[in-house]
Amino acid sequence: MNWFELFKINPLKSLLLTSNPVLNYFIERDLLEQKGNLIETLWQIPEVEKILKKQQVNGSWKYPGKNMDEDMGSNHDLLETFRNLRYLVEKYGFNRQHSALRAAAEYVFSCQTEEGDIRGIISNQYMPYYMGAILELLIKAGYQQDALVEKGMNWLLSMRQEDGGWIIPLQMFKITYLYQVAKDPPIPPDRGKPSAHLATGMVLRAFAAHTDYRKLIEIKRAGDLLKSRFFLKDFYNDHQGVKYWTKFEFPFWWTDLLSSLDTLYWLGFTRDNADIARGLAWFIENQPQDGLWKGSYEKRADMHLWVTLAVCRIFKNYYSR
């Protein structure tokens, strides 16, 4: 059976109706396995030029709103740079051959500390979840062998909880505590506390992208932890509710069912695993009548198409293995 025959409505047929040249590129490459134009052809379209025009001289993008935490040392330009790297790498296939990507990578590395972590979005406090998501993008863009990426990956490994996953150390406290400790030395994690699947899923994306680190026994253990948490509440306040498992967007940001299944595929899990099968079944059982799964965050008109493309990718991957 072909993967698209699992659904009541073939989502591939719905996707093929789009006239979006970027979506068409990835549909043809990833779902139909057709060789087309080089990825660099996507770098010239007006949407990309609009993003690149806003890049600053130091390689970052300026946060568009008021940074309410600037007096506490938070760096929301790093947050905005992460946001735009998601688009450039995941939607337009940017890699280190492009000068704008290289400049952005240099800026991100300038936010890396001697310890090895990337820091700034939550002031001087550790942010393993954002760091994992940022490193994922840099690895996909061609920085897998970079010494600073390796330093960051090893730092993430050193920050694991006793149960094998990760937490956001500041979330051990009420959020108002940030105002007291923002510029202080970072708070270390209490290793005995349960991991947060929000943090674990975002960190694992970096390891899933890295062809060497994804093979580690420690990472397989963290993957087991992540899939065991499907459809459960998180232990900490940020994105705690069960509803967040089925709130989707692409490019990925937070940990949800879709991003987790994608990550776990690259970590070597198969559809024969009970948790993976349960996650895949959710998409079959909850397919909308038009065949296209919806996004829940950004209100882009084409978000449902990108989310559906991501769903189709994971089904093709799991049912082709």
3-state helix vs strand vs coil in the chain, percent to 5: 55, 0, 45
Instruction: Return the structure tokens found at 9.
Output: 């409505």
Domains with residue ranges and CATH for the chain:
43-234 (1.50.10.20)
pLDDT at 68 over 80: no
**Phi and psi, residue 267, nearest 5°:** -85, 0
pLDDT at 32 over 80: yes
Reading phi first (left if > 0) and then psi (alpha if -120 to 50, else beta), residue 189 is in: beta
Per-residue pLDDT, 301: 84
- Give pLDDT tens digits for 290-315: 999 999 987 888 999 999 999 999 99
Q: Determine the longest span between alpha carbons in the chain, in angstroms.
A: 58
What percent of the chain has a predicted confidence (pLDDT) above 70?
98
Choose among 88, 89, 79: nearest CA to 127.
79
Beta carbons within 8 Å of 88's beta carbon, 6+ residues apart: 48, 51, 94, 100, 101, 104
Range 53-67 average pLDDT:
92
**How would residue 25 be classed by pLDDT, with cut points 50, 70 and 90?**
very high
Q: What is the pTM of this model?
A: 0.96
Range 127-155 average pLDDT:
98
Structural contact between residues 60 and 107, judged by C-beta atoms closer than 8 angstroms: yes
- Give pLDDT tens digits for 231-264: 999 999 889 999 999 999 999 999 999 999 999 9
Cβ-based burial of 52 (10 A; exposed 0-12, middle 13-18, buried ≥19):
middle
- Give pLDDT tens digits for 84-120: 999 999 999 999 999 999 999 999 999 999 999 999 9
Beta carbons within 8 Å of 15's beta carbon, 6+ residues apart: 23, 27, 31, 292, 305, 308, 309, 312
Q: How long, in residues, is the chain?
A: 321
CA end-to-end span of the chain: 13
